[in-house]
Structure 1
């Protein structure tokens, strides 16, 4: 999970948001209003709802094209549940919220890394498991 991710407000221009996403190397930008998560702007939102529609990025605010009511997870939520939500809603990133406040973003890569670490731990556990055979 990326803790304390960059976020923006609804009134930010699309051009500014795109520059921010480029400079931060992020594919989604959580949008907050008074500290509460209200939407998420994704690279797909920009392509489908702005570029493909021919909107002026300097005159368009991100609140006009962002995805409202995003699917979220809570910090203590199980990673398997998060992965199911990602699959069900066809998203690669989930905002992590606590009491409606944005505290992080969980990406597919985070889930994959955790699974890889867990799997590696299981393999090490199996390798280190006593077999009753002693070497001489």
Structure 2
């Protein structure tokens, strides 16, 4: 049985309103031990801001009093459907070099965010990894 993305969503999605500050985003992420927030406007998904976005912003000297949309990704979001397999989610994360994916329900509405951490905790993924030899991992014979 292939695991579906919907089963990886373990928390209610955490969001932040467009116009909120980077500092507010950091406070929410820190207090909830998460690495991303969905950026919302009038109840609709507009983007995502991640811990990587915050680190890059700080390294560029961007003030934490700036708004999240200045550093987050707006539009053209990389998403998965709740019925997609965990493999598809992992493949997208690898292809786009990202750690968080927006999950959309079958109706196209935002229902959550999954992280690479969620994927590596998934039982079938761990079982597959445990059955892989070191030679298969490294490509050596």
Q: TM-score, normalised by structure 1?
A: 0.76
Assess if the C-alpha contact under 8 Å between 2:120 and 2:126 holds in 1. no
Assess if the C-alpha contact under 8 Å between 1:27 and 1:43 holds in 2. yes
Corresponding position of 1:131: none
Matched, 1:67 2:73: yes
Assess if the C-alpha contact under 8 Å between 1:31 and 1:41 holds in 2. yes
Secondary structure at 2:16 match in 1 = coil
Aligned length: 119
Residue segments in structure 2 that go unaligned for 5+ positions in a row: 1-8, 132-141
Among 12, 16, 24, the residue aligned to 1:8: 16
State the distance in 2 between where 1:94 and 1:101 align. Answer: 14
Root-mean-square deviation (Å): 2.1
| Distance change >3 Å, CA 118–CA 45, structure 1 → 2 | closer
Residue segments in structure 1 that go unaligned for 5+ positions in a row: 124-136
State the distance in 2 between where 1:45 and 1:87 align. Answer: 18
- Note the C-alpha offset of 1:90: 0.8
State the distance in 2 between where 1:57 and 1:100 align. Answer: 32
- Note the C-alpha offset of 1:116: 3.6
State the distance in 2 between where 1:119 and 1:55 align. Answer: 43
- Note the C-alpha offset of 1:95: 1.2
- The Cα offsets for residues 13-72 of structure 1, whole Å up to 9 and x where unpaired, read as 111111111111111111122332211111111111x212212212x0101110123211
Assess if the C-alpha contact under 8 Å between 2:119 and 2:125 holds in 1. no
